[in-house]
């Protein structure tokens, strides 16, 4: 399981670090077996409304197929000041 730092925008998590993984994903608590249905993954999606506009740290698994961060868990959220610093450093 890896750690990701990013900003929540429009209900999705925009990964800023690690840089090679940069993309925008949705978070789900479910682990990804090879044949799982997209509907099941979406039914376990983490609602990011409370984190909108904030920097958050997330643990999870990002497979080659982008779009979802599996086994996701929000570890921490930044204050408005720290969110502004993160945005300035990574944008």
How many domains does one find in the chain? 1
Whether the full predicted model's pTM is greater than 0.75, yes or no, is: yes
* Contact between 84 and 14 (Cβ < 8 Å): no
The verdict on whether omega for the bond into residue 18 sits within 30 degrees of 0, i.e. cis, is: yes
Residue with tokens 């570890």: 75
What are the pLDDT digits (tens) for 44-89?
Answer: 899 999 999 999 999 999 887 678 899 999 999 999 999 999 999 9
Residue closest to 34 by CA, chosen among 65, 3, 67, 69: 65
| Domain of 62, in residue numbers | 2-90
3-state secondary structure of 60: strand
């Amino acid at each position: 399981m890896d750690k990701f730092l990013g900003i929540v925008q429009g209900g999705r998590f925009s990964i800023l670090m690690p840089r090679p993984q940069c993309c925008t994903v949705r978070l789900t608590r479910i682990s990804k077996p090879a044949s799982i249905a997209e509907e099941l993954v979406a039914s376990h999606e983490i609602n990011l409304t409370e984190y909108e506009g904030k920097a958050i740290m997330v643990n999870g698994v990002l497979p080659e197929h982008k779009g979802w961060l599996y086994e996701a868990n929000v570890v921490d959220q930044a204050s408005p000041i720290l969110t502004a610093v993160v945005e300035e450093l990574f944008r």
